[in-house]
């Protein structure tokens, strides 16, 4: 949802107008918005927003929030040609990555009706400011009658351009400047994340979670005419249909259990981006990338190769994906697991390819209010890639530690090793590996 400065100027003019008109007072700039995931430490291990009403509505309320992250990277890389210069890889050395920042605008428009607009102020893939998305969330409806009150007691409706709720892993990944939720530096090797236009309906009761969603299946809007390929005929703009079911319950004072299953389906799309929908970029800069050739557009290497360390299965035409997630927290110990399987193809292929991914996190939080943590993650992908005759494997092992100076300020570090296996001899990733450390300071409020 790429929008440049005129849209952002309009947003700030709107804020100024509200303030001057008296509709929103200066005191409400950090006002309390119910049914909202906090952008600081208290938002960790929050998945779907709660149905607990935490604020009494008296007037429209505005809350501004932000996420900011600065990293220092000390990674090294190699492939089958070795680690010396001239091995067909982009040359890297230790240094600071460009800082990334997000801006969150949340407005309580009416009782139980909340507007969110999120902007990326600076990211790796886009240095300029632009809008990630915006949506309305209804936890109450402005209709009189007990029927509507009873219905919305357990129901949430989300409509707009938003981060789709496929799986649970997207709740724990780093998103541009918002890195507080993630004990590690990166998300998964195959990154299921996208912003699409549509709606979701949730039902939450006594620990049960159910959700269905319907979107356009693309990271942005499109009114382009349909195209045709020899392999698949007319490429129709079919909607994406997805859902989630599971439970999340605090079974005792010390133990919380969560288990969910998610499914995503789209039969035909000009450009589905379920596995290439992140427009912020990777937090491992330029690892295992080819030497960059500047295109006529002048796009630099950091933005042009913005997804280093990830694998895109390339299912742009058709996708069927399933993800199972488990989460257990016993006092300071946390376990989060993911098992994912998907199949799909591009519009120029006639048969589906598939991949399987699994990941396991183990985190121990300790100290006053669990302000310290250590953790380990293993992530493995086996994937059939277009143009490669046999499946390839990528695995990653990451060790992490962090310290919350306050609920808004986190210092964290990670040591990571990632291996590329079974790539063809003539592929630059053959015998590939990168390892080393990344250190980050991140702020969220």
CA proximity to 99, closest of 73, 65, 64: 73
Mean per-residue pLDDT of the chain: 91
Residue 397 confidence class, pLDDT cut points 50, 70, 90: very high
Tokens read off for 379 = 């992530």
- Which band of pLDDT confidence, cut at 50, 70 and 90, is reported for residue 413? very high
* For residue 4, pLDDT beyond 70: no
- SS3 for 9? helix
Percent above pLDDT 90 for the chain = 78
Dist. CA 373–CA 410, nearest whole Å = 11
DSSP state of 291: P
Distance CA 260, CA 208 (A): 10
Q: Which domain holds residue 216?
A: 5-444
Distance, in Å, from the CA atom of 175 to the CA atom of 169, rounded to the nearest integer, reads 12
DSSP state of 38: -
Q: What is the pLDDT of residue 126?
A: 78
pLDDT value at 23 more than 60 = no
| Confidence band for 26, pLDDT divided at 50, 70 and 90 | very low
How do strand 208-215 and strand 195-205 relate by DSSP bridges? antiparallel
**CATH for 359:** 2.40.160.10
pLDDT at 220: 85
Looking at residue 29, what DSSP letter applies? G
pLDDT value for 234: 83
pLDDT at 322 over 80: yes
CB count, 10 Å around CB of 252? Answer: 9
Taking only the tens place, the pLDDT of each residue in 188-221 is 999 999 999 999 999 999 999 999 999 999 988 8
Write out the H or E segment, with its range, that includes residue 159.
Answer: strand 155-163
Distance CA 398, CA 361 (A): 9
**DSSP β-bridge partners for residue 240:** 215
231 pLDDT band, cuts 50/70/90, is confident
Structural domain total, the chain: 1
Q: Are 391 and 359 in contact (CB under 8 A)?
A: no
Asked whether the predicted pLDDT for residue 10 surpasses 90, the reply is no
Q: Which candidate, 350, 117, 138, 319, places its Cα nearest to that of 215?
A: 319
Mean local confidence (pLDDT), 378-396: 97
pLDDT at 74: 98
pLDDT at 9 over 60: no
Pairing of strands 100-110, 61-78: antiparallel
pLDDT at 29: 53
List, in sequence order, every residue forming a beta bridge with 14; answer none if it has no partner. none
For residue 19, is pLDDT > 50? Answer: no
Q: What is the mean pLDDT of residues 268-277?
A: 94
Structure confidence at residue 68 (pLDDT): 96
The rounded distance, in Å, linking the Cα atoms of 30 and 26 is: 9
Q: Residue 395 in 3-state DSSP?
A: strand
Q: What is the pLDDT of residue 173?
A: 97
Of the listed ranges 32-41, 90-99, 127-136, 294-303, the least confidently predicted one is 294-303
The two tokens of residue 333 are 């110990």
Q: Based on C-alpha coordinates, what's the Rg of the chain?
A: 22
Average pLDDT over residues 423-435: 96
CA separation for the pair 359, 379 (Å, rounded):
4
CA angle 301, 194, 207 (to 5 degrees): 140
Exposed e or buried b for every residue in 200-220, given b needs 16+ CB within 10 A?
Answer: bbbebeeeebbbebebbbbbb
Assign 5 a pLDDT band (cuts: 50, 70, 90).
very low
Give the CA distances from residue 192 to residues 175, 322, 397, in Å, rounded to whole numbers and listed in that order. Answer: 12, 11, 19
pLDDT at 125: 86
* Backbone φ and ψ of 380, nearest 5°: -135, 135
Does 157 have pLDDT greater than 80?
yes
Of residues 173, 185, 181, 213, the one with CA closest to residue 75: 185
- Taking CA atoms, 235 is separated from 105, 143, 257, 350, in Å, by 37, 41, 42, 13
């Amino acid at each position: 949802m790429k929008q440049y400065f005129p849209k952002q100027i309009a947003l700030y003019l709107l804020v100024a107008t509200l303030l001057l008109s008296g509709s929103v007072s200066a005191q409400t700039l950090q006002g309390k918005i119910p049914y909202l995931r906090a952008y600081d430490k208290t938002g960790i291990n929050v998945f779907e927003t709660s149905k607990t009403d935490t604020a009494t509505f008296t007037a429209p309320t505005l809350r501004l929030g932000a996420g900011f992250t600065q990293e220092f990277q000390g990674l090294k890389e190699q492939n089958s040609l070795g680690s010396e210069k001239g091995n067909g890889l982009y040359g890297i050395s230790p240094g600071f990555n460009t800082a990334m920042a997000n801006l969150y605008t949340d407005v309580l428009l009416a009782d139980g009706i909340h507007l969110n607009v999120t902007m990326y102020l600076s990211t790796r893939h886009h240095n300029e400011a632009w809008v990630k998305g915006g949506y309305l969330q209804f936890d109450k409806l402005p209709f009189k009658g007990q029927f509507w009150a009873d219905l919305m007691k357990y129901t949430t409706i989300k409509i707009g351009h938003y981060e789709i709720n496929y799986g649970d892993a997207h709740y724990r990944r780093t998103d541009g400047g918002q890195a507080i939720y993630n004990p590690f530096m990166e998300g998964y090797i195959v990154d299921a994340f996208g912003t699409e236009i549509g709606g979701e309906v949730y039902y939450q009761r006594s620990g049960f979670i159910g959700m269905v969603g319907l979107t356009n299946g693309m990271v942005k809007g499109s009114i382009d005419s349909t195209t045709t390929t020899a392999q698949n005929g007319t490429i129709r703009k079919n909607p994406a249909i997805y859902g989630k079911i599971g439970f999340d319950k605090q079974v005792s004072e010390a133990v919380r259990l969560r288990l969910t299953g998610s499914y995503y389906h789209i039969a035909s799309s000009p450009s589905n981006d379920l596995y290439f929908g992140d427009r912020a970029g990777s937090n491992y800069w330029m690892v295992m990338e080819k030497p960059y050739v500047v295109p006529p557009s002048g796009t630099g290497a950091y933005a042009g190769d913005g997804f280093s360390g990830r694998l895109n299965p390339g299912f742009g035409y058709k996708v069927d994906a399933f993800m199972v997630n488990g989460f257990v927290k016993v006092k300071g110990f946390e376990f989060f697991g993911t098992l994912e399987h998907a199949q799909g193809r591009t519009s120029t292929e006639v048969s589906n390819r598939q991949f399987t991914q699994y990941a396991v996190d183990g985190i121990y939080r300790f100290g006053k209010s669990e302000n310290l943590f250590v953790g380990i993650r293993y992530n493995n992908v086996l994937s059939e890639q277009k143009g490669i005759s046999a499946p390839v494997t990528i695995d990653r092992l990451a060790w992490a530690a962090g310290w919350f100076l306050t609920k808004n300020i986190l210092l964290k570090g990670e040591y990571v090793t990632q291996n590329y296996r079974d790539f063809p001899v003539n592929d630059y990733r053959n015998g590939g590996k990168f390892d080393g450390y990344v250190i980050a300071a991140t702020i969220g409020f």
